[in-house]
Chain A
Amino acid sequence: MNTKKKSQGFSVRSVVATGIGAAVFFVLMKFIAIPTGIPNTTINLAEGWLALIAGLFGPVVGLLVGFIGHTLNDAVTYGSPWWSWVIADGIFGLLLGLGKKYLALEYGNLSTKKLIQFNIWQAISNVIVWFIIAPIGDILIYKEAAQKVFLQGAVTAVVNTVSVAIIGSLLLVAYVKSRPKKNSLRNE
């Protein structure tokens, strides 16, 4: 009875956060899109959600949510996953998850400075992922033409940076507002 076995690695909460996170990611990616006015380019709400969930639960959950969510969306929409972009989305989640400790969203304190730093970091991550990792994956895995994949990557990086800047920041602020502040209990 007393043998306490510590559950290893991935906590139960992370398992569930990954599962639900990927489900919401999938639904947002597939069903809600805000057009930007440029054809075939939409503000991607799913990436904003990924920013929040990665910021709350860390890099591993971020990686898996991006990976599972994107795989399922590709599978249901196009029949088979486009692996280089799936991997890129996973790495994007991982990079954003690295900011978990620094942002400390659960304690309800998000200064303007932190929000700006978050946005700089997400812009850098977007460029790394969509302008470097995804096109190189396309070239290595699929032997696509470099000119084409780098153009696609550049457009995606810009659009996703804007999406996360708007939707991601909005979600972070809304979440933090809903949390009680640290040290908010006072002796009376």
Chain B
Amino acid sequence: MTMNNLFGYKERDTWLNHTTGTAKLVGFLAISTMGMISYDTRFLLALGVLAIALMKMAQIKYHEYALMLKLVLVFAVINLVMVTVLAPQYGTQLYGTHHALFGSGYWTITQEQVFYEFNLLLKYLFSLPLAIILLFTTNPSEFAAGLNKIGVPYKIAYSFAITLRYIPDVQSDYHTISLAQQARGYEISKKASLLARSKGAVQIILPLVFTSLDRIETISQAMELRRFGREKKRSWYQEQAFSKRDILVFVGSIGVIVIGVGLLIVNGGRLYNPFQ
């Protein structure tokens, strides 16, 4: 498995592909942070629509992200059910009013509760298209350069680059070790008992841990020899100059932040309350 299909990155000829990683990273962080803070339904819906429109523009096909979408939906449903069971009056508590729909006593389901959970669902879902765009249209190596550009110290950005670079290697190590151990009779599939599976997993991670620790030594010596970390700055191979597109993305992100903050002030808090 290569890194490209792990993150779903593919070269596509759309404007989102040509935008630099830095701009997309800033846009993603700005919009998802605002969406995280705000509980304004109108704002979240608008962001969701914007995100879906952008995903259409990026020409990402449904089958490419179907698995992710299903996982998020399962995650969302489990969480919503948990909230309903454990805190059925939480909506009333948040919005301060009580409009019963059905049920009684502890199990009274109120309009506030339904509305709150709808907001929660929006929050779980709205940023998925944005993340998909970011992952699917950005060359992984651009992330490190992008992080450094937005102010993350370059050593940390470089660690991140190493992570992205070595995930496929660690994966293939894991695969090789797993096959070797299975050939020696360790069963790790669902057919085996719990104890046998745990033993099998341990037999796989021990060699994986030791090869990885050796790898740390080898790579750090190689980097030391090439004088990594001597200077206060470094340049990046994948770094790109900003173009008009990037400026537009920045302006758009600022626009979203301004609207989001404006709504916080208008609503007098994070919640949008239609019940008053």
| Chain A residues proximal to chain B, CB less than 8 Å | 5, 7-13, 15-24, 26-28, 31-32, 34-37, 40, 43, 45, 48-49, 52, 56, 64, 68-69, 72, 75-80, 83, 141-148, 151-152, 167, 170-171, 174-175, 178
Given contacts A20-B166, A64-B156, A148-B83, contact A15 B228 (CB under 8 A): yes
Chain A interface helix/strand/loop/mixed: helix
Assess whether B162 is in contact with A75, with CB atoms less than 8 Å apart.
no
Given contacts A15-B158, A45-B201, contact A151 B86 (CB under 8 A): yes
CA distance A15 to B221 in the complex (A): 12
Assess whether B90 is in contact with A145, with CB atoms less than 8 Å apart.
yes
Which residues of the other chain, A, contact B86 by a CB distance below 8 angstroms?
145, 147-148, 151
Assess whether A34 is in contact with B229, with CB atoms less than 8 Å apart.
no
CA distance A178 to B224 in the complex (A): 25
Interface string of B219-244 (1 = CB under 8 A from A): 11001100011101000000000000
Which residues of the other chain, A, contact B78 by a CB distance below 8 angstroms?
40
Which residues of the other chain, B, contact A72 by a CB distance below 8 angstroms?
163, 167
Assess whether A23 is in contact with B228, with CB atoms less than 8 Å apart.
no
12 contacts between A and B (CB under 8 A): A10-B155, A15-B158, A18-B162, A22-B159, A72-B163, A75-B131, A80-B32, A141-B37, A142-B36, A145-B87, A146-B87, A148-B83
CA distance A131 to B102 in the complex (A): 33
CA distance A167 to B166 in the complex (A): 23
With beta carbons under 8 angstroms apart, the residue of B6, B130, B204, B223 that contacts A80 is: B130
Among B42-77, those with CB < 8 Å from A are: 68, 71-72, 75
CA distance A8 to B166 in the complex (A): 25
Number of A-B contacts (CB under 8 A): 171
Given contacts A15-B228, A64-B156, contact A32 B204 (CB under 8 A): yes
With beta carbons under 8 angstroms apart, the residue of B71, B166, B215, B232 that contacts A78 is: B71
Assess whether A80 is in contact with B127, with CB atoms less than 8 Å apart.
yes
Which residues of the other chain, A, contact B100 by a CB distance below 8 angstroms?
none
With beta carbons under 8 angstroms apart, the residue of B156, B174, B194, B220 that contacts A32 is: B174
In the complex, residue of chain B having the shortest beta-carbon distance to the beta carbon of A35: B194
Top-7 shortest CB links A-B: A19-B162, A145-B87, A79-B128, A18-B159, A79-B131, A16-B220, A7-B229
Interface string of B180-221 (1 = CB under 8 A from A): 000000000000001001100110111011101101100110
Assess whether B223 is in contact with A68, with CB atoms less than 8 Å apart.
no
B123 at the interface (CB under 8 A from A): yes
B82 at the interface (CB under 8 A from A): yes
Q: How far is the CB of B63 from chain A (nearest CB, A)?
A: 16
Given contacts A16-B216, A141-B36, contact A34 B198 (CB under 8 A): yes
B270 at the interface (CB under 8 A from A): yes
| Chain B residues proximal to chain A, CB less than 8 Å | 6-7, 32, 36-37, 39, 68, 71-72, 75, 78-79, 82-83, 86-87, 90, 94, 120, 123, 127-132, 135, 153, 155-156, 158-163, 165-167, 169-171, 174, 194, 197-198, 201-202, 204-206, 208-210, 212-213, 215-216, 219-220, 223-224, 228-230, 232, 270-271
Which residues of the other chain, A, contact B162 by a CB distance below 8 angstroms?
15-16, 18-20, 23
Which residues of the other chain, B, contact A78 by a CB distance below 8 angstroms?
68, 71-72, 75, 128
CA distance A117 to B226 in the complex (A): 40
Which residues of the other chain, B, contact A28 by a CB distance below 8 angstroms?
205
With beta carbons under 8 angstroms apart, the residue of A9, A26, A75, A79 that contacts B155 is: A9
Given contacts A19-B166, A37-B194, A171-B209, contact A76 B6 (CB under 8 A): yes
Which residues of the other chain, B, contact A26 by a CB distance below 8 angstroms?
163, 167, 170
In the complex, residue of chain B having the shortest beta-carbon distance to the beta carbon of A52: B209
Which residues of the other chain, B, contact A40 by a CB distance below 8 angstroms?
78
In the complex, residue of chain B having the shortest beta-carbon distance to the beta carbon of A26: B167
Q: How far is the CB of A44 from chain B (nearest CB, A)?
A: 11
